[in-house]
Homo-oligomer: A and B are copies of this chain.
Amino acid sequence: MTDHQPGPTSPKAQLIAGEVRRRIVEREWQQGERIPDEADLAVTFGAARATVNKALQLLADEGLLDRRRRAGTRVAVNPVRKAVFTIPIIREQVESAGMEYSHRVIAQRRSPVPEAIATRIGLPAGRILIHLRAVHYGNDRAFQFEDRWINPDSAPGLDTVDFRHQNANEWLVRNAPYLRADIAFSAENADRRDARLLRVPKGQALLILHRSTWNDAGPITTVRIACHPGYVMSTAG
């Protein structure tokens, strides 16, 4: 088509998704109800079916629609609530807050991995990994304390890296991209070591982030990050 309407300012698929979302929110299409099929909607909205498909996929990903072949598309009864968190790179986070970033390595040594950690990443207990402990600072205020185990087989040259001069996370991000990652949040009372390194009272509630990464050759690293009190992890809008 060479001639067509003035042209919307945002992509058509987005507009369609927005309109469908509105109809759901305003109860024009009720929970569990079947909505018109893609071909019909394509006609109603004056778009190609592929465009409608894209819009509906979007809403299905959001958890607002349930779609099944042959059965059609219906409004989700229990909209799944998904939240996307962007795991910040500590340095960027500190610097974007206008503070100066620094970090200090508390310990770096080769050591047999404890059972609890070995099972978490699927390695036999007792394997020799690099054990690294470091604190990240913003303007000399402790921000995070990380306790990390690194698989020396996961990247060439890992054995000889001195993480005192080189942030472990950044080195790994650049030198050992991962295929799969697991992330978990929990809360713990600061133990003696957390308390000392983060300079908070023992027992202080801390947000704990556990992250493990793998590539096709096996586990790369697993880390427990203890965040300073008051740290909030929120859906970046």
Contact = CB atoms under 8 A, between A and B. Distances in A.
B186 A232 contact: yes
Interface residues of A, number: 51
A99 interface: no
Interface in A1-27: 21-22, 24-25
Interface of A: 21-22, 24-25, 31, 64, 77-87, 89, 92, 170, 173-174, 177-179, 181-189, 203-208, 215-216, 227, 229-235, 237
A185 B82 contact: no
Contacts of A187: 187-188, 205-208, 227, 229, 231
A94 B51 CA distance: 39
A235 B185 CA distance: 9
Contacts of A81: 86-87, 89, 181, 183
Contacts of A232: 184-186
A83 B84 contact: yes
- Please indicate which of the listed interface residues A81, A173, A189, A227 has the most CB atoms of chain B within 10 Å of its own CB: A81
A84 B84 contact: yes
